[in-house]
């Protein structure tokens, strides 16, 4: 795929106005993107829309892990873990440029779980459940060996540590890759398009009213089936649903300088306060720490971390890394996401609730899918695809199990040969193909850094706009580049210059540029509110 831009989007909107579809997927998080990919790969005429950007919902606010969920073994959820481990292994094989192995250390302390014996058994099972054995096997470390690997972890009460492997990804870019692959397979996709209502013929859903959130225009599209993959917004589209399907909980993450903690690996810690698992994950020079799990009843469009959430995570890290002395001022960025958890005993799902996700078929034909994980999206999408193919009388198997996803791994030299220093080349290597970067190097300052101290270059803004359908300043800085998370001002200082560049490519007038800047500053401010709560 080369061009995937505002122009592509405009052409796709025109097709949505005029062409009938077999399937309209509502929601461009990982689940909707996965369903659109599965459906397009089966040859079904497919459309996909998101009211904001791809991955602007929960799918861009995760722990960025592709994992089986070792902790679920504590609750004997073997089926769930086996399924996730298999999908993890498939992603490692099919998406090597996006999903990478991650060594984990999980210390066992005498004064808090998990117990040494349970942990060792859990790790044995975790390895056992992986069929492909793609990742290195687990090992057990004595307290001394554990401290050799992680010199900063507390020694007192340390009973040993397990070493095992899972995988990490950039969640927003994974979603984007799935959307782009859906488009390559023929899906007609657009971000910033909201479904405002469903159209019915003879009591059956037959399409939807859409609104282009950039221009404000509204129009209708027709589809034989509509798939509701709207995450925590699921109930908004389900008519006549007496009890809500979901009970969202909030989970937050913080980024802190890794040097402050001194961790070398990813760690799964146990919080002394409540026995929950808290991850500390390497993210370049930063450590990503998460997550919390608290009930949430507020507006799903306004979910941000608060001071209490942040304090909980800092406390958990300080317990195991006593020399870190982390405080709120060390936090570079924080974000919050909502888990679309199924309300137990609520509406009956077609699939077994213990599988962690559910597919609902309403009387009007609307198909809804929710729950699951970033990791298991493909398998969830396959189930929906099977259902759609049956209902449409177009039987056939899913084609995504062995289908490559995202960029392949390219040698570092290919980027250094373009004239980039090693740090920048390493950064680019994680995201793009060399020829993709090369295509845009003729633009002014393309190879120059956006922020002197960081390896982000202007060419990435151009790629985001021209090849990744970024439509707003937030699309670029939050989800395509991620500078929002990596700078302590959330990128506000450079936002003006970035907006100018995007505006140049998209033809923004000064009013639009100003609006984009204000919206971005508001977003940054909302995500910094925990500092104010703290008196910081």
Q: Which residues bind ligand FAD (CB under 6 A)?
A: 26-32, 49-52, 56-59, 61-65, 194-195, 229-233, 251, 291, 337-340, 370, 372-375
Whole-number minimum distance, CB 436 to ligand FAD, in Å? 25
User: Cα separation of 270 and 108, whole Å?
Assistant: 9
Closer residue to ligand FAD, CB minimum distance, 405 or 459: 405
Closer residue to ligand FAD, CB minimum distance, 116 or 276: 276
Whole-number minimum distance, CB 82 to ligand FAD, in Å? 15
Whole-number minimum distance, CB 112 to ligand FAD, in Å? 22
Closer residue to ligand FAD, CB minimum distance, 192 or 440: 192
User: Cα separation of 198 and 209, whole Å?
Assistant: 6
Whole-number minimum distance, CB 507 to ligand FAD, in Å? 25
Give the contacts of 511 (CB within 8 A, at least 6 positions apart).
Answer: none
List b or e across 299-317, with b for residues whose CB sees 16 or more CB atoms inside 10 angstroms.
ebeebbbbbebbebbbebb
Closer residue to ligand FAD, CB minimum distance, 109 or 225: 225
Closer residue to ligand FAD, CB minimum distance, 143 or 290: 290
| Residue nearest ligand FAD, Cβ-based | 29
Whole-number minimum distance, CB 142 to ligand FAD, in Å? 29
Residue 448 has φ and ψ, to the nearest 5°, of -85, 155
Residue 439 CB coordination number (10 Å): 18
Whole-number minimum distance, CB 293 to ligand FAD, in Å? 8
Closer residue to ligand FAD, CB minimum distance, 231 or 455: 231
Instruction: Sort strands 249-257 and 139-141 into parallel, antiparallel or unpaired.
Output: unpaired
Whole-number minimum distance, CB 59 to ligand FAD, in Å? 3
Give, as one character, the DSSP assignment of residue 70. G
Closer residue to ligand FAD, CB minimum distance, 100 or 147: 100
Residue 262 CB coordination number (10 Å): 14
Alpha-carbon separation of residue 375 from 64, 82, 89, 157, 501 (angstroms): 9, 12, 10, 34, 35
Residue 408 CB coordination number (10 Å): 10
Residue 252 CB coordination number (10 Å): 25
Tokens representing 70?
């070792």
Helix (H) or strand (E) holding 23: strand 21-26
Closer residue to ligand FAD, CB minimum distance, 261 or 369: 369
Strands (E), 202-328: 204-212, 218-228, 249-257, 266-270, 277-283, 286-290, 294-295
Closer residue to ligand FAD, CB minimum distance, 439 or 479: 479
What single string gives the DSSP state of each residue in 199-216? EEETTEEEEEEEEETTT-
């Amino acid at each position: 795929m080369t061009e995937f831009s505002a122009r592509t989007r405009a052409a796709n909107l025109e097709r949505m106005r005029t062409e009938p579809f077999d399937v309209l997927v509502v929601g461009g998080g990982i689940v909707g993107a996965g369903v659109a990919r599965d459906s397009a790969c089966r040859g079904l005429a497919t459309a996909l829309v998101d009211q904001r950007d791809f991955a602007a919902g929960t799918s861009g606010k995760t722990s960025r892990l592709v994992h089986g969920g070792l902790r679920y073994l504590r609750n004997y959820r073997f089926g769930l873990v086996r399924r996730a481990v298999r999908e993890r292994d498939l992603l490692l094989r099919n998406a090597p440029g996006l999903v990478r192995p991650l060594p984990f250390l999980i210390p066992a302390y005498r004064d808090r779980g998990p117990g040494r014996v349970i942990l060792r058994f859990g790790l044995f099972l975790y390895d056992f459940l992986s069929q492909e054995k793609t990742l290195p096997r687990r090992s057990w470390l004595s307290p001394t060996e554990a401290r050799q690997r992680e010199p900063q972890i507390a020694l007192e009460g340390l009973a040993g540590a397990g070493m095992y492997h899972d995988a990490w990804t950039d969640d927003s870019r994974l979603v984007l890759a799935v959307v782009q692959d859906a488009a390559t397979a023929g899906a007609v996709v657009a971000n910033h398009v909201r479904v405002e209502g469903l159209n019915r013929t003879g009591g059956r859903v037959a399409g939807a009213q859409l609104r282009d959130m950039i221009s404000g225009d509204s129009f209708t599209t027709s589809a034989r089936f509509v798939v509701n993959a709207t995450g925590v917004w699921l109930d908004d589209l389900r008519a006549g649903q007496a009890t809500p399907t979901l009970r969202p909980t909030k989970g937050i993450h913080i980024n802190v300088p890794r040097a402050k903690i001194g961790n070398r690996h990813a760690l799964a810690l146990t919080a002394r306060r409540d026995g929950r698992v808290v991850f500390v994950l390497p993210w370049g020079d930063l450590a990503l720490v998460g997550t919390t799990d608290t009930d949430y009843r507020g507006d799903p469009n306004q979910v941000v971390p608060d001071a209490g959430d942040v304090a909980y995570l800092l406390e958990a890290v300080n317990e195991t890394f006593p020399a870190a002395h982390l405080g709120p001022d060390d936090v570079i960025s924080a974000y919050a996401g909502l888990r679309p958890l199924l309300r137990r005993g609520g509406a009956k799902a077609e699939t077994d609730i213990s599988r962690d996700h559910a597919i609902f078929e309403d009387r009007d034909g609307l198909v809804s899918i929710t729950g699951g994980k970033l990791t298991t999206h493909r398998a969830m999408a396959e189930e929906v695809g099977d259902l759609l193919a049956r209902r449409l009388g177009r039987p056939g198997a899913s084609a995504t199990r062995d289908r490559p996803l995202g960029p392949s791994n390219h040698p570092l030299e290919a980027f250094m040969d373009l004239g980039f220093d090693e740090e920048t080349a390493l950064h680019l290597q994680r995201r793009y193909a060399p020829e993709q970067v090369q295509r845009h190097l003729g633009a002014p300052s393309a190879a120059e850094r956006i922020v002197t101290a960081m390896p982000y270059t202007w060419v990435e803004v151009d790629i985001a706009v021209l090849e990744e359908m970024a439509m707003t300043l937030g699309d670029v800085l939050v989800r395509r580049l991620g500078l929002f998370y990596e700078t302590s001002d959330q990128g506000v200082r450079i936002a003006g210059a970035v907006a100018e560049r995007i505006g140049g490519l998209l033809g923004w007038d000064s009013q639009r540029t100003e609006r984009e800047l204000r919206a971005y500053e508001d977003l940054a401010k909302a995500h910094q509110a925990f500092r104010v709560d703290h008196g910081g």
